[in-house]
Amino acid sequence: MPTPLFAVHISDGALAPAWTVGGFAGAALLLAVALWRFREDDVPRIGVLSAAFFVASSVHLPLAVLPTSVHLVLNGLVGVALGRRAPLAIAVGLALQYFLLSHGGLNALGVNTCIVALPALAAGLLHPALRRAGVPAFARGALLGGGAVAGAVLLNFLVLLFGGADDWEALARVVLVAHVPVVLLEAAMLGVLVRYLEKVKPELLGSS
């Protein structure tokens, strides 16, 4: 029997209660910042990115060395496209993944939002800085795409390590290693996408 899907989605009951409460507090802060000066014309872009983020969870990548699979995250794309609005798309996508796919957990929704959204926000902040510094579009996308996934996996590892209700160190290490192919794949994907969008639709790269 294959082992469960290794993902950057912590399930209910895996964390100590204090971390669960702290996760919701952190997510509320991220969403408050994302909603500041929210405009109606932001809705279509957030909707499209929420859908992309949700669909990515159904793209499974089998691993040759483990009897399981991992899935795409796309938080780098969400961050580069939405900037500080990224937590809105990620929170909606994670909620849909739980209610429609039973992926993740309801009590862990706050923590999972923080784990995925914080690297996305970092990608959104770094993208314009890298563009001003003259970093080529493909390199920019590859760095932010792979870095955002790596950041989420690292945060997931640290949360399981320090906030787990049980000793999850072995599982956390496996999750960390299992996502190396995802980091490489999403780096290449976002690199190609940023280079393409910069030529045909540069206004999609970043939110005011």
Which domains, and CATH codes, for the chain?
17-199 (1.10.1760.20)
pLDDT at 1 over 60: no
45-54 average pLDDT score: 92
In the three-class reduction of DSSP (H, G, I as helix; E, B as strand; rest coil), residue 7 is classed as coil
Confidence bin at 55 (pLDDT 50/70/90) = confident
Give the pair of three-digit tokens for residue 15: 């964390």
pLDDT at site 3? 39
Please tell me the distance from the alpha carbon of residue 120 to that of residue 80, in angstroms, as a whole number: 7
Question: According to the model, what pLDDT value does residue 61 have?
Answer: 65
Task: With a cut of 90, say whether residue 32 has pLDDT above it.
Answer: yes
* Spatial separation of the C-alpha atoms in residues 37 and 159, rounded to whole Å: 31
Average pLDDT over residues 84-89: 95
| Bigger pLDDT: 193 vs 168 | 193
Euclidean distance between CA atoms 130 and 138, whole angstroms:
11
pLDDT of residue 24: 96
User: How many Å apart are CA 94 and CA 104, to the nearest integer?
Assistant: 8
